[in-house]
Structure 1
């Protein structure tokens, strides 16, 4: 069982921004906390020491409060992936406000939905939004406004927030057509502690380069929150995201940890120079976000001489199952529950009693986990759907073996219903990915009639491979039960992905 660092009744003073920044500032004020790289081969465009970073955060926090924002007000951040985004995110939290990180690629209607649903009192964005239709117009902050706040704002102390107070709100896909807000407390930073050694093997001398954007908890957590909480250095790259650049960036910045989705590592292997000499400083890679393609781990290890440690997470908790320098990879699994986390497999339907080893069910986390969200923003019905007694179930399906290794078998709401059978898309994808001519594959349920659904496979072939649907179906037939085999193969040039590189399954059926 998890040992909490406080009891719920105590709810001690705790500010997430203070936890991440104050210790580093006091112990190593002149150490680089953040490096901003604008182009491969170029020196850092910005170098932020811990003292500089804390000063900018607390000045921006003071300016936000001076502008009339009150404790608990939501601030939507829709900026480029720059130092200003990072500073503003932590400044909002330092001020006792609630940060709402969002993508700069959102359309105006999408951004307006987040504003309306969250009731945000302010929005930082690259260009003005037409907020006339909203019940109350939020304060609009431009990049120039943020830059001025960082330099000239009245420096204040960290707000006297408590561990259970809201710190940030991040929107993710819901079971409806609209995204839902996931509200996290200040103590979520404490809840990330199991990752330090249970996934990263994180050290104060590490330099962490993350390939993702700040609107994602994977990037905000792995790329900023955890390095700073451990006195390490975070690295931001703001230039063109060419996969051939990443080894050069790792070498130029002496990055020791590199994090990204599987697609980033796959593209590096295809387009970049991935050798031990090309990435001499790298200790290992960190991967999460979706299921990796077949053979990726072995090819990366053979060419780079380094390991990749995989993690399974969700917006509601972040990464909680992983391999690490002390937990070796077991093929087919995503690793073990990180030390201190209580993870079991529950029946999809039935009592809230953990299932025996090797039995598929819902992956569940005990609700005492300090990394778990406070709840969904104004979505009581969806909150009830993920609560099973003392357990939280986020919708991931899996099995656990006798040694504690967990196999992720898909999402409960993504399981395909084909010819009356339940089929995991991950299982079919893993088999098809082993086909020698397939570069990438994703599967989805296709409706051929109102009452008939089949498994469809969307396939990206390697450059020199023929598009032979019959051969792929024959390959699947030899390795899968008949009801799991795809009945339709659709060849595509690329799979639809989100801005962070994850496959958009909802977009497959429209291809």
Structure 2
């Protein structure tokens, strides 16, 4: 039997359609229910569904009044506040195409984005770095828009462009991933296939408002079914999370493995009376961490696998828990295969995890690089670049990347991008980057370089801080007489971690 999971397609996305309208579809019949609680040490700042919808459609009206039209691109340079999701949904409600980005990006990184996107406007917090652009809309202006007479949702073809997210590919150049309005419709497959989410749930996500994992799992998905989202305010110490989860009666807790790791290290007891389970994504979950969570909380943790091009589509869930070493199975409605050079491989054989072209959550294309997007297709299958093996029952075991992509705190980072930045530094002749394990389940990005002499590490840190987002910055720098290469002279990045161990006490 071939490694193909296909239990039938999901319901078709209705037309006309608007992503923001779908997210806020329960706002009118539960106006007074709390949609969002921003958790603080002294209580919470609550947003009802009615207030949220009013703010989103007021923002939509303000953006239209500022001269933005459907199809215009708006680069988002906002911080970790509720302003972020309101501006994001406000833009989409008006048919404007937002580009959410990490506030950690440096000015040079945003300059490259501006050149590629040619945005009509930048939604800007003055404390967030950004290259110059004439069409900046300030944080104060955005806040003022919320009181405007609400705009109407702009409905249209579900396949039209809704938003753009950036990812780093193996080439090292971040690619602009273009997603359709239908992407939110596809996320319904996660509700039962991963979350086990109910309308009565209070889902707490530990990530920042301006992280796409938080934006989807922590906010839009709970809102789309009428549940309540809980987000700790910026700067909340992880040590305070257990008390916040208990005080605000969180039923589901979502985070990246790094957050779970720190939380479990600092807490003695996480038996919370209202907590049903945890959700984990962003990097591979270790069995050790999973077992710790089970022991300290008395609840299960469900893992998901996905990518910027299609979000999560393989997961464990309350109804379909992972078995053995598997991470889970394709969500109901997904069509997934394990591909070899000649097509799907037999059950149990290793191959590349692939998602079918017809999946409503799959990206439209890479903006300005459609040929690169098409190059990742094998027939009707989009190749993720991740290796796996499928059992007869559809459970998939993750076997790693087929390239050298690194993972730093839940963010995928291309070593080529890090290397390209450091190659420009005086005194470096060659550089290789790799994620190395510094203690159990804790990985940091490390730069290995050659040159006439060992360079000042403080100066190197200052340089990368100015040229790379924090999550892309190496935490260690190792000077070597030469870097490991293969018979063809190509850098062997997978050999680099061994040099870290040999060159550190």
TM exceeding 0.5: yes
1:63 paired to 2:75: no
Pairing partner for 2:138 from 138, 142, 164: 142
- Which residue does 1:103 correspond to in 2? 102
Aligned length: 432
Residues 443 and 455 in structure 1, CA contact (< 8 A), matched pair in contact too: no
1:284-310, CA deviations, whole angstroms, 9 ceiling, x for partnerless residues?
A: 100001112341111110111011100
1:250-285, CA deviations, whole angstroms, 9 ceiling, x for partnerless residues?
A: 112211111111111111111124321xx2221110
SS in 2 for 1:356: coil
Distance 1:492 1:162, change over 3 A: farther
- Which residue does 1:341 correspond to in 2? 334
- Which residue does 1:84 correspond to in 2? 83
1:247 paired to 2:246: no
- Which residue does 1:235 correspond to in 2? 230
CA distance in 2, matches of 1:408, 1:385: 23
SS in 2 for 1:47: strand
SS in 2 for 1:61: helix
The offset of 1:130, in angstroms, is: 7.1
SS in 2 for 1:80: coil
- Which residue does 2:19 correspond to in 1? 16
1:190 paired to 2:160: no
CA distance in 1, matches of 2:211, 2:380: 27
The offset of 1:328, in angstroms, is: 1.7
Q: What is the TM-score with the length of structure 1 in the denominator?
A: 0.79
1:440-469, CA deviations, whole angstroms, 9 ceiling, x for partnerless residues?
A: 3579998335468474475xxxxxxxxxxx
- Which residue does 1:32 correspond to in 2? 34
1:448 paired to 2:484: yes
CA distance in 2, matches of 1:68, 1:389: 42
Q: What is the TM-score with the length of structure 2 in the denominator?
A: 0.80
1:85-104, CA deviations, whole angstroms, 9 ceiling, x for partnerless residues?
A: 11111000000011110111
1:347-367, CA deviations, whole angstroms, 9 ceiling, x for partnerless residues?
A: 1xx22x211111111101111
- Which residue does 1:393 correspond to in 2? 383
Which deviates the most, 371-380 or 243-252? 243-252
1:311-345, CA deviations, whole angstroms, 9 ceiling, x for partnerless residues?
A: 00101111100100011222322100111111110
CA distance in 2, matches of 1:452, 1:237: 42
Residues 72 and 97 in structure 2, CA contact (< 8 A), matched pair in contact too: yes
CA distance in 2, matches of 1:219, 1:77: 15
1:360 paired to 2:353: no
Distance 1:225 1:400, change over 3 A: same
The offset of 1:488, in angstroms, is: 6.0
Pairing partner for 1:287 from 280, 283, 286: 280
SS in 2 for 1:281: coil
- Which residue does 2:270 correspond to in 1? 275
CA distance in 2, matches of 1:340, 1:456: 39
SS in 1 for 2:501: strand
Distance 1:234 1:415, change over 3 A: closer
1:414 paired to 2:404: yes
Distance 1:401 1:334, change over 3 A: same
CA distance in 2, matches of 1:455, 1:389: 30
Segments of structure 1 that go 5 or more residues without pairing to the other structure are 417-431, 459-485, 494-511
1:103-154, CA deviations, whole angstroms, 9 ceiling, x for partnerless residues?
A: 111111112222221111111122287755xxxx442111111110112x23
SS in 1 for 2:397: strand
- Which residue does 2:295 correspond to in 1? 302
Residues 247 and 273 in structure 1, CA contact (< 8 A), matched pair in contact too: no
- Which residue does 1:489 correspond to in 2? 501
The offset of 1:220, in angstroms, is: 1.3
- Which residue does 2:9 correspond to in 1? 3
Which deviates the most, 377-386 or 163-172? 377-386
Residues 69 and 121 in structure 1, CA contact (< 8 A), matched pair in contact too: yes
CA distance in 2, matches of 1:448, 1:65: 55
Which deviates the most, 201-210 or 11-20? 11-20
Give runs of aligned pairs for residues 167-186 of structure 1, distance below 5 A.
Answer: 167-186=162-181
SS in 2 for 1:171: strand
Give runs of aligned pairs for residues 402-441 of structure 1, distance below 5 A.
Answer: 402-414=392-404, 438=440, 440-441=442-443
The offset of 1:228, in angstroms, is: 0.6
SS in 1 for 2:150: coil
